[in-house]
Amino acid sequence: MKNPLLNFDGLPDYAAIKPEHVGPAIETLIQSASAAVAHAEKTESVSWETLVEPLQDATEKLSRAWGAVAHMNAVVSTPELREAHNAAEPKVTQFWTSLGLNRALYERYKTLSEHSAVLLDEQRALLRHEVRDFELSGVALEGEARDRYAAIQETLAALATKFEDHVLDATNAFTLDVHAAELDGVPSDVLQTATEKAKAAGLGEGMARLTLHAPCYLPVLQYAKSRTLRETIYRAYATKASELGDASFDNSEIIEQVMALRHEEAKLLGFESFAALSLVTKMADSPKQVIDFIRDMAHRAKPFAQRDLRELREFAGVELQIEDLQAWDAMYASEKLREKRYAFSDEEVRQYFPEDRVLAGLFRVVETIYSVRIVEGKASAWHPDVRYFEVLSQSADSQTNSKRIGEFFLDLYAREGKRPGAWADTARARRVVAGRVQTPVAYMTCNFPSPVGGKAALFSHDDVITMFHEFGHGLHLLLTAVGTLGVSGFGHVEWDAVELPSQFMENYCWEWDVLAHMTQHVDTGEALPRALFEKMIAAKNFQSGMAAVRQMEFALFDMRLHTEQLTVNRQELLRVLREVRNEVTVLHPPEYNRMPWSFAHIFAGGYAAGYYSYKWAEVLSADAFSRFEEEGVFSPTAGAAFRQEVLGRGGSRDAMTNFVAFRGRPPSVDALLRHNGMVSEATRSAAT
């Protein structure tokens, strides 16, 4: 029987991939890649064709196969698949670690980099990145330090997987069975899903089963009238994967080990802190610069956040009889205040955003500004809900001459066995060898509510913003013009610039010419009324100050944790968290809140000492979009420039150069402050 993980002629047959395929495929591909490395080590004639291309041929196959395994383990996890993934992961980590420590290859790459005048600019850029990455991967280490570095990498990879497993398992394990009558105020589709779960579990009539998955947890906090119920589910969410929940899912020890190993890794490589090591591959110059940036943004936002909280507390006391506003009341009270102040609710808006209409509106934006076409196709997928699309070039004469630029999979709904959150990732990167183009393929993953009662899936406006965000990441991969593997797409793009294309796309969710074409009431078929849109615009910056300081709380906690010389244990972690909250937070969560214990971005993802990237890139994205505001949000001229100078360049040029080439000047924070409504009346008056 053929192993679908070893088929590289087209897209993987995801539906055919089984846990038993993982081990043999990874073993085979590691052997092939190791053979290619051994051959490259002995190559006397060092050139792009004799060194780089053969290595990329072999290692890319391993990356693609392992990427498919890791992706499926994140979206359709089963005990068997997890076991196969976790058994193969150390071998994959060992291979990549040994590659980074390979001094013979390092010397060859360095030689080629120093004699690369005949190469393309993008090829020279890759060589610079590779030489730097060798140096950041411990290639200069000797003896015990070298062995220790390799052991650290293997352990960190295993701990990251275990951290995410604990968060997923804790999320899946929690259920709360209540009488349906206790869900007064909760949207009907959420109630229907909860009662169907209760029925499937064999509970009696009139019962409902709640979970910690976002399509259940968030509406309960936002709409449930029962304060007791809100507090119960908030506590479960805030303590998941911690010592205050199921002990078998406790991430305490993992966090301690991760922090100790990261600090040790940084010291081995000659850096004062892990943050200093992390920033080598980012736009920011130093931990101090980042912390100053975070504190400056928090300082700007905090007066607005304090105003938001004063208004919310007053409203909650007078209108809702909640005298001591707590974290589990915030979403509920905020929704009621929004309804009173702006005369609409999120639930009312959600009725206008059925899935297919949203996708059509999203594709219209992309097709207009970037001169492409998006068509749905058929491909093997890992779940029946997954949809597949192709991105085609627009042809001046006929559609038959359109050329396929890339492909992507959309996996939109929350389900058991799927990790929470939303993300985009690479299934296959663009590569050009001997004139033959390998088109890029992207995964775009969300956790939205699935269809209920025969109706289309309905998305909140926040869900729509999330979809546009992830699609921006996807476009960074799909619209690259670079043909060199490693710097095409978002390969080697500075981490604090990776969010630029994604946050840029969010701006379109607030444009009338966009929403007018992407909304249709699920029952009446009517488009979003202009009057309701105006209310949404009026409410756009509702509590933007509170949202901003919450983001700064996460960012400052992350940077302090990775900058300061800490012996990280539970007490130290909570101490730093308290200090950060005392500095920037306005509505303090309860003492039992264990946010870090499920903070996968920094303990299992790529955002360690980099969570600030969201706000850093938001400065870039707001300023980039301001050009579209000046020239027209559908401006094909601005779109072509953004595609050419930002999306198209990938990591073949540094992010600041890309931005300046598009905008004509360095970035300014002014557009972000204006977009977030954090501009004083005096400043507004002076500007006008």
Q: For the chain, what is the mean pLDDT? A: 94
- pLDDT band at residue 668 under the 50/70/90 scheme: confident
pLDDT of residue 397: 52
51 shares a domain with 178: no
- pLDDT band at residue 682 under the 50/70/90 scheme: very low
The strand pair at 441-448 and 404-413 is best described as parallel
Q: Is the residue at 463 inside a domain?
A: no
Q: Is the residue at 314 inside a domain?
A: yes
Domain boundary among 596, 611, 626: 611
Output DSSP code: residue 656. H
90 shares a domain with 63: yes
Asked whether the beta carbons of 167 and 240 are under 8 A apart, the reply is yes
Q: Is the residue at 603 inside a domain?
A: yes
User: What is the extent of the structural domain holding 202?
Assistant: 174-239
| Orientation of helix 103-114 relative to helix 19-42, angle to 10° | 60
195-253 tens-digit pLDDT: 999 999 999 899 999 999 999 999 999 999 999 999 999 999 999 999 999 999 999 99
Tokens of 338: 């929004």
210 shares a domain with 91: no
How many domains are there within the chain? Answer: 3
pLDDT of residue 163: 97
Domain boundary among 218, 239, 260: 239
pLDDT tops 80 at residue 190: yes
What pTM does this model have? 0.92
Query: Using alpha carbons only, what angle is made at residue 251 by residues 245 and 254, rounded to the nearest 5 degrees?
Result: 160
Q: Choose between 161 and 565: higher pLDDT.
A: 161
pLDDT tops 60 at residue 481: yes
Domain boundary among 93, 118, 140: 140
226 shares a domain with 320: no
pLDDT tops 80 at residue 437: yes
127 shares a domain with 21: yes
69 shares a domain with 11: yes
For 294-299, the CB contacts below 8 A with 24+ separation are 294/552, 294/555, 294/556, 294/559, 294/612, 294/615, 295/556, 295/583, 297/548, 297/552, 297/615, 298/548, 298/549, 298/552, 298/556, 298/583, 298/584
123 shares a domain with 26: yes
pLDDT of residue 680: 53
pLDDT of residue 681: 39
Q: Is the residue at 114 inside a domain?
A: yes
314 shares a domain with 254: yes
247-301 tens-digit pLDDT: 999 999 999 999 999 999 999 999 999 999 999 999 999 999 999 999 999 999 9
Segment (H or E) for 437? strand 436-438
Q: Is the residue at 283 inside a domain?
A: yes
- Tokens 């709360």 locate to 176
Q: Is the residue at 78 inside a domain?
A: yes
Q: Is the residue at 528 inside a domain?
A: no
Catalytic residues: 470
pLDDT tops 50 at residue 686: no
105 shares a domain with 61: yes
Output DSSP code: residue 75. H
pLDDT of residue 684: 36
8 shares a domain with 107: yes
pLDDT of residue 685: 32
115 shares a domain with 11: yes
Asked whether the beta carbons of 150 and 186 are under 8 A apart, the reply is no
396-433 tens-digit pLDDT: 454 556 799 999 999 999 999 999 999 999 999 999 99
Q: Is the residue at 488 inside a domain?
A: no
331 shares a domain with 208: no
The phi, psi pair for 75, rounded to 5°, reads -115, -20
SS3 content of the chain, % helix, strand, coil (to 5): 60, 10, 30
Distance CA 330, CA 341 (A): 16
CATH of the domain at 605: 1.10.1370.10
The phi, psi pair for 445, rounded to 5°, reads -125, 135
pLDDT of residue 494: 95
CATH of the domain at 107: 1.20.1050.40
329-380 tens-digit pLDDT: 999 999 999 999 999 999 999 999 999 999 999 999 999 999 999 999 999 9
